[in-house]
C-alpha cells in the first residue's frame, strides 16, 4: 500500500517539498494541490513556505479556503512550514505596516510575521527533536514568523531556546522553519508516521510519542 | 535542555532559500509607497523599489542609479512583503548601502547604468542575497559563481515586448539540454569558454536546471506574457513597466498574479485577461538603436 500526499501549490517552495517527499519510503505519489478536486485525493497535505499574503489571496481567488478548512476539520493531516503555518494559525498579530493574510484559524497558535527580522537576519540553527534521537536537525529560518502563544492542546516539539519553532495539535503540525530546505526527510517522515499516513517503522522516527 | 548552537546567517542556503520562497509568484516594480500597497494587495510576492520604471529610464536617458534610500525606506515601511532594490552592475558601495538598510534582495541590474567595466559585485561577501540578469547559460553561471542566489532573464526592460525574455529563457534551457550529450572533454571546454567553474557546469548537467530559481523579466506586459514565460519553464516573473504604465494597474497586477499560478488554464487566462484596459504601448526591438539595448550590458 502506498500513500498519495499533496503539496498546496499556490505559491512558494513547492518543488522543495515535492523533491523531499518522493524520497520518503512508502509515498506512492505527490500531487500538487491547486483545486478542491485535488484536495479530495490526498491523504495528507503539506503547506510550503512562500508569501502568506499572496497565498491567502489565492485561497480566496480560487475558492479553496472553505474546502481546505472542511478537509482539515475532517482530520486531514497537515504539515505547514513558515507561510503555511501562518495560513493555518488561529491568530496573527497585526503587522505594523502592510497587509496581513486572513488565516484559517485551525491551529491554536498566535504568530507574528517576520518577527526574527528581514532577510539579512534569516538564520540556520541545528535543533534536537524528541522523536529524532540524538542527531541534530538543521532548521532553516527565512524571514520567519514567531509563535507568541500556544493553546492548551498544542504540543511544543522544539524551541529556538526562547519561542516554540515546531508544534502540533492533533494531526496538524506547524513549523516556523523550512525542513524542506535542509534536504533532510526525517521530519516529513516522522509526521507521516505519527499521523498514521505511513506505517511506523520500529527504531526510527515513528517510535516517538504519539500525536496529541 | 541542551545548549543550542550559535545561529549562522548569510549562508548560500539562506540566500537561495529566500529566492525559492518567491516561486510561482510575481515581483512588481514600484516607484512609490502607494504603488507598493497596490502591488501587495494584488498578491505580489515582493516589490522592487525603483526611482523610475525601466520605460521611464529608457525615455529619460542619462545615468540611471540606485534609488534614493529615502524612497526605498518609505516603501519598506509601507508593506509587509519583501522589498528588493537595484544597484548598478559592479557598484559595491550602492549594494552595501542597500544591505545596510535591510533590503531583502539586491538586483544587480543592467537596467541601471553599469558602474564597473570589469567586474560585477563580489556577491559572496554579502549577507543579503542577489538576483542578476542573464541572456544565456554562461552568463547565468558566471553570476551564480559570483554568488547570485537567483537568476532572471534580462529580456529587454521597459519595452513591453516579451520577445527577448522568451529568447533568453529558450537559450538557457537549450544550452542546459545540450550539456546532457557532452563528453567530459567537451564539458570542460564549455566551462573554459564560458569562464565558469567546471563543478558548476557538472551540477547543472545533473540537475537539468539551474541550481537557483530562474525568473522571467524584461518586457512582460500582460497576463498572457506571464503565462507564456511560465510555460517555457520560468519559476516566476518580474513585471516592471507593464503594471504601472497600464491604464488600470491594480487590475493588471492581480490578473498577472493569477496567470502566473494557473498558466496552463486557458479559460482562466481568458477570464483574467478580459477588460484590462489599455496595456503599455510597447516598443519593437528592431527600432531600438543597438547602443540603447540594455541587455548587452554585462
Phi, psi angles (nearest 5°) of residue B245: -100, 0
Q: Contact A123/B13, CB-based, under 8 Å?
A: no
> Residue A115's closest chain B neighbor by CA?
B80
Q: Which residue has the cell 488600470?
A: B248
The three-state DSSP-derived secondary structure of chain A is CCEEEEEECCCCCHHHHHHHHCCCCCEEEEEEECCHHHHHCCCCEEECCCCHHHHHHHHHHCCCHHHHHHHHHCCCCEEEECHHHHHHEEEECCCCCCCCCCCCCCEEEEEECCCCCCHHHCEEEEECCHHHCCCCEEEEECCCCEEEEECCCCEEEEECCCCEEEEEECCEEEECCCHHHCCCCHHHHHHHHHCCCCCCCCCCHHHCCCCC
Average pLDDT, chain B: 95
Domains in chain A: boundaries: 3-194
Residue (of B283, B290, B291) closest to B56 by Cα position: B283
What three-state secondary structure class fits B188? Answer: helix
Q: Which of A119, A135, A156, A162 to mutate to test the interface with B (most CBs of B within 10 A)?
A: A119
Segment 183-212 of chain A within 8 Å of chain B by CB: none
Q: Are the CB atoms for A72 and A33 separated by under 8 Å?
A: no
Residue (of A121, A120, A100) closest to A111 by Cα position: A100
The answer to whether residue B1 scores a pLDDT higher than 90 is no
Q: Contact A120/B17, CB-based, under 8 Å?
A: no
pTM for the full predicted model: 0.95
Set of chain A residues whose Cβ sits within 8 Å of the Cβ of B8: 123-125
Which candidate from B17, B46, B128 shows the least CB-CB separation from A181?
B17
pLDDT number for residue A68? 98
Q: Contact A15/B21, CB-based, under 8 Å?
A: no
How far apart are the C-alpha atoms of B153 and B111, rounded to whole Å? Answer: 12
How far apart are the C-alpha atoms of A58 and A55, rounded to whole Å? Answer: 5
Give pLDDT tens digits for B68-81: 999 999 999 999 99
Q: Which residues, at least 6 apart from B100, have a Cβ–Cβ distance to it below 8 Å?
A: none
Q: Contact B82/A119, CB-based, under 8 Å?
A: yes
Q: Are the CB atoms for A23 and A185 separated by under 8 Å?
A: yes
The answer to whether residue B225 scores a pLDDT higher than 50 is yes
End-to-end CA distance of chain A: 25
Instruction: Give the angle B234-B294-B134 at the CA atoms, nearest 5°.
Output: 35
pLDDT number for residue A2? 81
CATH of domain A3-194: 3.40.50.880
Give pLDDT tens digits for A124-141: 999 999 888 889 999 999
Binning pLDDT at 50, 70 and 90, where does residue B2 land? low
Q: Contact A82/B21, CB-based, under 8 Å?
A: yes
Which candidate from B4, B40, B99 shows the least CB-CB separation from A98?
B40
The answer to whether residue B287 scores a pLDDT higher than 70 is yes
Q: Which of B6, B16, B35, B43 to mutate to test the interface with A (most CBs of A within 10 A)?
A: B43
The Cα of A76 is separated from the nearest Cα of chain B by a number of Å equal to 24
Q: Are the CB atoms for B29 and B263 separated by under 8 Å?
A: no
Residues of chain A with pLDDT under 70: 1, 202-212
How far apart are the C-alpha atoms of A34 and B261, rounded to whole Å? Answer: 9
Give pLDDT tens digits for A141-153: 999 999 999 999 9
* Binding-site residues on chain B for chain A (CB distance < 8 A): 1-2, 4-5, 7-11, 13-14, 17-18, 20-25, 37, 40-41, 43-46, 77-82, 99, 102-105, 127-129, 257-258, 261-262
Give pLDDT tens digits for B89-106: 999 999 999 999 999 999
Residue (of B72, B26, B68) closest to B49 by Cα position: B72
Tell me if chain B has a CB within 8 Å of the CB of A128. Answer: yes
> Residue A113's closest chain B neighbor by CA?
B80
Q: Which residues, at least 6 apart from B88, have a Cβ–Cβ distance to it below 8 Å?
A: B64, B65, B66, B94, B108, B109, B112, B113, B114, B115
For the CA atoms of B48, B168, B244, A60, the dihedral, rounded to the nearest 10 degrees, stands at: -80
Radius of gyration of chain B (CA): 19
Q: Contact B18/A161, CB-based, under 8 Å?
A: no
How far apart are the C-alpha atoms of B188 and B208, rounded to whole Å? Answer: 17
Query: Measured between alpha carbons, how far is residue B137 from residues A212, B37, B145, B234 in Å?
Result: 50, 35, 12, 14
Annotation says A82 is catalytic: yes
Q: Are the CB atoms for B221 and B279 separated by under 8 Å?
A: yes
> Residue A16's closest chain B neighbor by CA?
B20
Which candidate from A12, A97, A125 shows the least CB-CB separation from B5?
A125
Q: Which residue has the cell 522516527?
A: A205
pLDDT number for residue B3? 58
The Cα of A199 is separated from the nearest Cα of chain B by a number of Å equal to 30
Amino acid at each position: 500500500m502506498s500513500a498519495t500526499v499533496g503539496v498546496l501549490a499556490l505559491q512558494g517552495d513547492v518543488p522543495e517539498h515535492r523533491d523531499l517527499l518522493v524520497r520518503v519510503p512508502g509515498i506512492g505519489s505527490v500531487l500538487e494541490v491547486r483545486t478542491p478536486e485535488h484536495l479530495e485525493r490526498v491523504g495528507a497535505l503539506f503547506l510550503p513556505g512562500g508569501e502568506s499574503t499572496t497565498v491567502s489571496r489565492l485561497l480566496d481567488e480560487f475558492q479553496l479556503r472553505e474546502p481546505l478548512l472542511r478537509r482539515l476539520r475532517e482530520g486531514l493531516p497537515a504539515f505547514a512550514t513558515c507561510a503555511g503555518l501562518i495560513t493555518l494559525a488561529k491568530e496573527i498579530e497585526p503587522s505594523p505596516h502592510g497587509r496581513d493574510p486572513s488565516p484559517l484559524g485551525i491551529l491554536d497558535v498566535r504568530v507574528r510575521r517576520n518577527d526574527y527580522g528581514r532577510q539579512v537576519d534569516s538564520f540556520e540553527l541545528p535543533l534536537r527533536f524528541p522523536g529524532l534521537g540524538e542527531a541534530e536537525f538543521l532548521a532553516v529560518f527565512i524571514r520567519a514568523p514567531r509563535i507568541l502563544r500556544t493553546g492548551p492542546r498544542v504540543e511544543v516539539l522544539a524551541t529556538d531556546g526562547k519561542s516554540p519553532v515546531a508544534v502540533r495539535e492533533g494531526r496538524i503540525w506547524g513549523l516556523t522553519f523550512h525542513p524542506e530546505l535542509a534536504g533532510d526527510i526525517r521530519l516529513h517522515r516522522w509526521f507521516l508516521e505519527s499521523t498514521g499516513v505511513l506505517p511506523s517503522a520500529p527504531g526510527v522516527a515513528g517510535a516517538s510519542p504519539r500525536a496529541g | 535542555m541542551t545548549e543550542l548552537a550559535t545561529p549562522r546567517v548569510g549562508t548560500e542556503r539562506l540566500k537561495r532559500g529566500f529566492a525559492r520562497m518567491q516561486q510561482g509568484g510575481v515581483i512588481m516594480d514600484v516607484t512609490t509607497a502607494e504603488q507598493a500597497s497596490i502591488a501587495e494587495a494584488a498578491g505580489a510576492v515582493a516589490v522592487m523599489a525603483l526611482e523610475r520604471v525601466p520605460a521611464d529610464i529608457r525615455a529619460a536617458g542619462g545615468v540611471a542609479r540606485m534609488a534614493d534610500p529615502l524612497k526605498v525606506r518609505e516603501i519598506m515601511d509601507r508593506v509587509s512583503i519583501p522589498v528588493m532594490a537595484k544597484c548598478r552592475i559592479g557598484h559595491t558601495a550602492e549594494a552595501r548601502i542597500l544591505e545596510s538598510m535591510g533590503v531583502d534582495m539586491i538586483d544587480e541590474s543592467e537596467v541601471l547604468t553599469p558602474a564597473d567595466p570589469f567586474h560585477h559585485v563580489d556577491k559572496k561577501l554579502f549577507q543579503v542575497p542577489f538576483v542578476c540578469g542573464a541572456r544565456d547559460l554562461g552568463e547565468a553561471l558566471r553570476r551564480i559563481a559570483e554568488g547570485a542566489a537567483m537568476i532572471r532573464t534580462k529580456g529587454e526592460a521597459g519595452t513591453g515586448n516579451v520577445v527577448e525574455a522568451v529568447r533568453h529563457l529558450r537559450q538557457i534551457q537549450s544550452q542546459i539540454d545540450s550539456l546532457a550529450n557532452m563528453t567530459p572533454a567537451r564539458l570542460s571546454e564549455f566551462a573554459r569558454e564560458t569562464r565558469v567553474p567546471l563543478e558548476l557546469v557538472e551540477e547543472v548537467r545533473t540537475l537539468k536546471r539551474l541550481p537557483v530559481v530562474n525568473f522571467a523579466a524584461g518586457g512582460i506586459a500582460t497576463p498572457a506574457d506571464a503565462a507564456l514565460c511560465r510555460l517555457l519553464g520560468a519559476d516566476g516573473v518580474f513585471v516592471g513597466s507593464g503594471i504601472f504604465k497600464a491604464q488600470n494597474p491594480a487590475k493588471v497586477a492581480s490578473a498577472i498574479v493569477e496567470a502566473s499560478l494557473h498558466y496552463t488554464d486557458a479559460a482562466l487566462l481568458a477570464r483574467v485577461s478580459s477588460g484590462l484596459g489599455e496595456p503599455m504601448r510597447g516598443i519593437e526591438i528592431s527600432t531600438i538603436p543597438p547602443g540603447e539595448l540594455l541587455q548587452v550590458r554585462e
